[in-house]
Structure 1
Amino acid sequence: MRHDWIADILAVIDAGSFARAAEARNVTQSAFTRRIDAIEAALRGPLFDRRRKPVALLPAARSLEPGLRRALQVQTSLLQEAAELAAGGGSITLACQHAISATVSPALVRALAEAGFEPVRIRSGNRDDCLVMLLSGAADLAVSYARAGGAPETAAGFEERAIGGDRLIPVAHPALWRRPDGRLPVVAYPPEVFFGALVGELWRELPEGVVPHRRAETALTLAAYRYALDGLAVAWLPLALVAEDLAAGRLRRPDDAGPDLPLDIRLIRLGGAGRETARRGWEVILGASASPGGSERIP
């Protein structure tokens, strides 16, 4: 069925009258009514009960609505993709957790650019923000941390694959030490963000006599990173973010700050039919992570 036919039919369903549907479709009511008449003639039967207020699909046609909505979504995505390609596009948008934007995204941009995607747009947010961007269509793919080797941490309707690994580790300025009373100055994450729950668990494994003392709280890993560099407190950060600082002696791993936590880096997409851009980008990133040297390109 033609894209404009589906859009016209759904406009009537959503608006409840031909007049409001015509306004939504930016045509006169008489022209819109002729379009609906032409659709029904082509389909060889009526679709709407015009006697009802609001106008509604006839009982025999009601089962079509879910399929029409899915078809419109698929067709709209294909038309958008075709327009991008015709305009010399090929852009793709990734929603990444803040720390991933600073560490992993350069390898992702490189792999995608080499495959012909330009520009590669990186949008940063907390883990839940990234999933919302994926659901809303503001991003084609999402990249997020997860517990290493664990079950999928997204709800039904998403698909995720591990593309690399990292570790969540405690780091501090070399001059920062635990206080004589056992209190360890720490940067906390809010409990509702992904790292907040993980760090809360790690605090329960601190050595006996070590008590976390919250000196700062932030949802931004990059802010926590700065607090650690400035000597304010111990921060739990991805190793990829702090590896160079550890090697250069700008940060150290405190012996009394408990264990590390292995992490997966996971690529996430919406399940089912989606934009061709998302499908191609998914394959490019998975191929880069599985290729020889892939663990170097995507940490």
Structure 2
Amino acid sequence: MDIKWLKDLLHVVQLGSFSRAAETRHVTQSALSRRIQSLEIWAGSELLDRSHHPITLTPQGEDFIQTAREIVAMSEEAQSRIAASARTADYEVHLACLHTLALAFVPKLVADLTERIGPFGISITADARTVEEYLLSLTNGSSDMFLCYSHPSVQFDIDQEKFPSLVIGEDAMVPYCGPQDAESYIGPANQSEIPYLKYADSTFMAHVVRSIISANDFGYRLVPKYRASLAESLMTAAEKRLGLCWVPHSLIGEGAPGPEMIPDEWMSPMSIRIFRSVENDNPVVKRIWAALSDPV
């Protein structure tokens, strides 16, 4: 049994809808439904009555729901204690961020901040986590700040008063493929099938790309051929001429076509946003936040 399944159940019960729960859990509705089914298989009984709208608990679900709440609360409390004890004095700031941002944006950000506020020690965590898990790291104290992309297709289930944020950069999600394939994939005259290199469904990037595809009429041409969680893996596959993917433009580097050269319908702008907890009293974090709030 996976603790994520219990959190899924609690969200469905709270919101009364698989679609709304999937949005707050940052997964597709089909993925959330499969996880709920896995939980019900583990429990040996249906826990949700899907014939009602909003969705309600079955009698077996009513018996189980309080236990689920207690297990989730206990696991989060234990994680918070462990995270707090694991923090060391070697680094003054702990930053959690999406893997893609850790490659180039974060080193530049830290260099710029060092020039403005002086040297400081920083530990970067860029594990393969869900957005919800990254935000939880702010709550349990294992991270001082969380850096991520921001896009209208991904709504964070977060209290903005407790976790304020700042936009500190801009990027764009753009199509990427081998230079030999660009015209045949994106060229206006070509309507042939496109081998599609896609993100794993639970990732932030997958939500953004789905919003691009759903808003346009080229989706029927995309035939999934390769799936990965990291943009870097998809980029390498594209360079090997395995198909077309979408990646942040900043990841492509110098010499690549700029967003102005790509048809508008194939791309979507994104912001880079940083979060912190108002309860964080780390003095270095406060200095960093003040500097970010007053860009040069």
2:210 aligns with 200
2:143 aligns with 139
2:246 maps to a residue whose letter is W
**Alpha carbons of 1:217 and 1:128: their partners in 2 closer, same or farther (altered >3 Å)?**
farther
- Kept after mapping to 2: 8 A contact 1:90/1:116: no
- Kept after mapping to 2: 8 A contact 1:167/1:239: yes
- Kept after mapping to 2: 8 A contact 1:94/1:121: yes
TM-score (norm. length: structure 1): 0.57
Flag structure 2 segments of 5+ consecutive residues without an equivalent: 1-79
2:111 aligns with 110
1:166 aligns with 171
Matched, 1:224 2:226: no
- Kept after mapping to 2: 8 A contact 1:142/1:267: yes
Flag structure 1 segments of 5+ consecutive residues without an equivalent: 1-72, 292-299
- Kept after mapping to 2: 8 A contact 1:90/1:117: no
Q: What is the deviation of 1:201?
A: 1.6
1:124 maps to a residue whose letter is A
TM-score (norm. length: structure 2): 0.58
**Alpha carbons of 1:109 and 1:235: their partners in 2 closer, same or farther (altered >3 Å)?**
same
**Per-residue displacement from partner, 1:196-232 (whole Å, max 9, x unpaired)?**
1111121124445852111111121222222222221
2:171 maps to a residue whose letter is D
Matches within 5 A, 1:181-196: 182-196=192-206
Tell me the number of residue pairs that the alignment of Structure 1 and Structure 2 aligns.
Answer: 202
RMSD: 3.5
For residues 140 and 219 of structure 2, the distance between their equivalents in structure 1, rounded to whole angstroms, comes to: 47
SS at match of 2:237: helix
For residues 233 and 206 of structure 1, the distance between their equivalents in structure 2, rounded to whole angstroms, comes to: 19
1:135 maps to a residue whose letter is T
For residues 98 and 145 of structure 1, the distance between their equivalents in structure 2, rounded to whole angstroms, comes to: 11
For residues 247 and 213 of structure 1, the distance between their equivalents in structure 2, rounded to whole angstroms, comes to: 24
**Alpha carbons of 1:151 and 1:221: their partners in 2 closer, same or farther (altered >3 Å)?**
closer
Matched, 1:260 2:277: no
For residues 175 and 255 of structure 2, the distance between their equivalents in structure 1, rounded to whole angstroms, comes to: 13
1:124 aligns with 126
For residues 245 and 124 of structure 1, the distance between their equivalents in structure 2, rounded to whole angstroms, comes to: 27
**Alpha carbons of 1:99 and 1:276: their partners in 2 closer, same or farther (altered >3 Å)?**
same
**Alpha carbons of 1:213 and 1:116: their partners in 2 closer, same or farther (altered >3 Å)?**
same
For residues 225 and 129 of structure 1, the distance between their equivalents in structure 2, rounded to whole angstroms, comes to: 25
For residues 242 and 151 of structure 1, the distance between their equivalents in structure 2, rounded to whole angstroms, comes to: 23
For residues 219 and 99 of structure 2, the distance between their equivalents in structure 1, rounded to whole angstroms, comes to: 33
Deviates further, 204-213 or 119-128? 204-213
For residues 151 and 268 of structure 2, the distance between their equivalents in structure 1, rounded to whole angstroms, comes to: 8
Task: Tell which structure's C-alpha radius of gyration is larger.
Answer: 1
SS at match of 2:246: strand
